[in-house]
Structure 1
Amino acid sequence: MTFTISAPPHKKSTVSFRSIMWSKVLALVPVSLISIYFFGIPALSIILISVLAAVATEFGIQTVFKQNVTIKNGNAVLIGLMLALLMPPEVPLWLPVVSSFFAIAIGKLAFGGIGSYVFNPVLAAWIFCKTAWSGFMTPASTPHIGQLSDLLLEQGAGFLVEVSPIALIGGVYLIYKRYVEWRIPLAFFLTMVIFPQALKVLSSIIQLANEGVLNPLMYLSQLFGFLDLSGELRYSMIGIVFFGILFIATDTPSSPVSKKGRLIYGIVCGLLVSIYGYFANYVEATFYGLFLANCVASFIEVNTAPASFGTEGLLGKLYGRIINKLPSGLKMEVLSDE
C-alpha cells in the first residue's frame, strides 16, 4: 500500500536521523572535554558510565522483546551523554546508571520509542532522580555570569554542563545545518532576555505608583532601566540555560511541528523558565520550566496546525463562534427568493 504524505514534487535530502543524533553528540564533545578538564576523573567516570548504561539498557530491552536494535543511530548515546552533563561531579556512580535506565526504559521505550514519547526522556529522568535523591542531585554551587571570563570557564559550576557556556556553541552549528529548527531557540532566548527585565521595570513602576510618585520622568527613567541587561541576566545566561535552549527545548518529539507552534512553544519555554528562575533559581527553573512546557506542547501543536485545503481557517471558526452567540435578531441573514 502506498501512503502519500504530501503532493509532489518532493525535495530529496541526505539528512538522516542517525546523522542528526551523532551530530548532536559531537556538538556536546567540547563541553564534555572541558568538564573533564575542570572536574577531573569524576566527570570522566560519570560520562562513561551514563553513556554505557543508556546503550546497554536500550540493547537489552530491544533484544529481550525481539525488537530491532537501534543503538547505532546514536540516540541512546546522546541521552546518556546529556544526562551525564546534568549531574554534579559529586554524585555516586550508581545514580547515572539509574537515571540512564529510567530515561531509556520509562521515558523513551515505554512510550513506544523515538517520536512517540510525550516528555523529553532526559527531563523525565532528571526530575525523577531529583525527587528521589535530592541530596545527591543538589550541586555544591550555583553559577552566575559575573564577568566575561565566566562564559569561557565558570568557576562556580555545579553541574558538568555549566563549566563553559561558550562551549555549547555547537548547538548554533546544529541550527546552521538545519538539524535543529531556529524558531524555538530564538523565541526562547529573546523571551529570557526581555521578560525578566520587563518584570523588573513593571514592579518598579508599581512601587512608585503605590508611593504616590506621579512624576512622569521617574517612570521614564524606570523604563530606560529596561536597557540594563546586567542584573538578572547574570544568573540566567548560564550554561544550563543555554543547554536547555539549544538541546532540550529543540527535541523534536516533545515540541510542536508547526512553524507558528514552535514560536509559541519557544515563548512558553522562556516565560516558564523566567518566572520560576525569577522567584527561585535558573538552574532548576530550566528543568521544571521545560518539563511544564512539554505538557502543553501537544495542545499548541493541535491549535496551530495548518488547516487542510478547503476547510475553514482559524478566523472563520472564530467568526462562526461569535455569530452563533448573537441573538437571532442581530444576525444578518441572506434570504432566498424560493
Structure 2
Amino acid sequence: MGYTISAPPHIKSGISFRSINTAKILALVPVSLASVYFFGIPALGIILAAVLAAVITEFGIQKIFKQDVTIKDGHAALIGLMFALLTPPEAPIWIAVIGAFLAIAIGKHAFGGIGSYIFNPVLVAWVFVRSSWGGHMTPASIPNLGQLSDLLLENGAGLLVDVSPVLILIGGVYLVYKKYVEWRVPLVFAVTVFFFNQTIAFLSAVFSLVQEGVLNPLMYLATIFTFLQVTDELSYVMVGVVFFGILFLATDSPTSPVTKNGRLIYGFACGLLVSIYGYFGNYVDGTLYGIFLANAIAAYIETKTLPAMYGRESLLEKSYRRVVKRIPSSLKFEVISDERI
C-alpha cells in the first residue's frame, strides 16, 4: 500500500476543482434553460456549439502537446457555456464556435492553462469577437428593469444571460453559500455599483437644482430622500449580465487576488470600472470591459496586499516614517533627560 508524504498541515476538504466547475455549470443550467424557452432553437444551438467547440479544442490542444487530457474536470465545458450566455441569440453559430475556440486556445492555454492565465478566458474571447464582429455581437435590445416581473423573465433581454436576473442571482448565491465562490469580491463589487449610481444620481439632482437657482431647503431634502430610494439608473444595473459579472466572472480564482484585503480592493475596482463605463455607456459592454480591465490590475493588487514578513515594517509604520521625515527638525518634540535639567 502506498502513502503520500507531504509537509504539514494536512487539511482535508470535499471541494475539488472538478466539483467547483460542476457546481458552476449546474448553477447556470436554469438560466440556460430559460434562454432556450425565451429565444427558442437559436439559443440551444449557440449553447451546444460553444460547449462542444470548447471541449474539442481543449482535447485537441492537450493531445497535440502530449498533455494529460483534463476535459473531465468540466472547465472547458464551463468556459464554453459562459461564452454562449454572453452571445446574442441572433448571432450565427460560427460566432459561438470561434469564441469558444479562442477562449480555450488563447485565453486559457496560451497563458499556460489552469492557474496561469491573467485574463478570464471568457472575457478574452468576448473582447476579441466583439471587436471583430461587432454587428453580430451587438444585442438587439438593452435590458431595463421596468417592473418586478422583469427580474424573473426579462422581455427586453439582448443576451442569453439577460433572460432572468433572478436565476443568475440564485445560482451565484448558492455558490457563495457552498463556498465555491469567495464572498468578498461579489459583495464589494455589488455595493460599489449601488452606491456609485446612487451618488451620481444624487449629485446630478443637486446640480440641476443649483443651476435652476432653487433656494427652498425642502427641495434639497426631497432630493436626499430620493437618493435613499432606488433610482431609475439602477433599473439598468439590476440585469442578468451585471449579476453574471459580479457572481461568475469577477470571482474567477486565477484572475482575482488570493489575499483577503486584495479581494476587497479588487471588488471595489471592478465595481468602479463597471459603473463608470456603464453609467456613461451601457451596462452590457460596461460589465464585461470593466472586469476585463480589472483583471489587468489583479496581480498588482495581490502583490501590494501580501502579508509582511515577520520583523518587517508594516504599511502603517512605513507611512508614519515617511511623514516624520518630512517634518522639519525644529517642529519635532525632543526628549530631555533628567541629566540635562
- TM-score band, normalised by shorter chain: over 0.9
Corresponding residue number in structure 2 for 1:171: 172
**CA deviation string 1:248-275 (max 9, x = no partner):** 0101111111111111211221111111
Structure 2: unaligned runs, 5 residues or longer? none
Q: Mapping of 1:55-74 within 5 angstroms? A: 55-74=55-74
- Counterpart amino acid of residue 46 in structure 2: I
* Structure 2 Cα separation of the partners of residues 128 and 329 of structure 1: 60
Corresponding residue number in structure 1 for 2:18: 18
| 1:332 positional shift | 6.3
- Which moved further from structure 2: 308-317 or 68-77? 308-317
* Structure 2 Cα separation of the partners of residues 192 and 15 of structure 1: 31
* Structure 2 Cα separation of the partners of residues 28 and 335 of structure 1: 70
* Structure 1 Cα separation of the partners of residues 274 and 135 of structure 2: 23
Corresponding residue number in structure 1 for 2:218: 217
Corresponding residue number in structure 2 for 1:240: 241
**SS of residue paired to 1:28:** helix
- Which moved further from structure 2: 15-24 or 207-216? 207-216
- Counterpart amino acid of residue 118 in structure 2: V
* Structure 2 Cα separation of the partners of residues 103 and 320 of structure 1: 47
| 1:239 positional shift | 0.6
Corresponding residue number in structure 1 for 2:143: 143
Corresponding residue number in structure 2 for 1:190: 191
Q: Mapping of 1:14-53 within 5 angstroms? A: 14-53=14-53
Matched, 1:78 2:78: yes
* Structure 2 Cα separation of the partners of residues 219 and 3 of structure 1: 65
- Counterpart amino acid of residue 296 in structure 1: I
- Which moved further from structure 2: 220-229 or 124-133? 220-229
TM-score under structure 2 length normalisation: 0.92
Q: Mapping of 1:1-338 within 5 angstroms? A: 9-168=9-168, 169-327=170-328
Structure 1: unaligned runs, 5 residues or longer? none
Aligned CA distance change for structure 1 residues 147 and 92 (closer, same or farther; 3 Å):
same
* Structure 1 Cα separation of the partners of residues 110 and 83 of structure 2: 18
**SS of residue paired to 1:91:** coil
* Structure 1 Cα separation of the partners of residues 318 and 33 of structure 2: 53
| 1:211 positional shift | 4.0
| 1:235 positional shift | 1.0
| 1:46 positional shift | 0.6
| 1:327 positional shift | 4.2
CA RMSD for the aligned pairs? Answer: 2.1
* Structure 2 Cα separation of the partners of residues 221 and 73 of structure 1: 55
**SS of residue paired to 2:254:** coil
| 1:141 positional shift | 1.1
Aligned residue-pair number:
333
| 1:328 positional shift | 5.2
- Counterpart amino acid of residue 45 in structure 2: S
**CA deviation string 1:120-140 (max 9, x = no partner):** 111111010000000000011
Aligned CA distance change for structure 1 residues 12 and 334 (closer, same or farther; 3 Å):
farther
* Structure 2 Cα separation of the partners of residues 113 and 72 of structure 1: 15
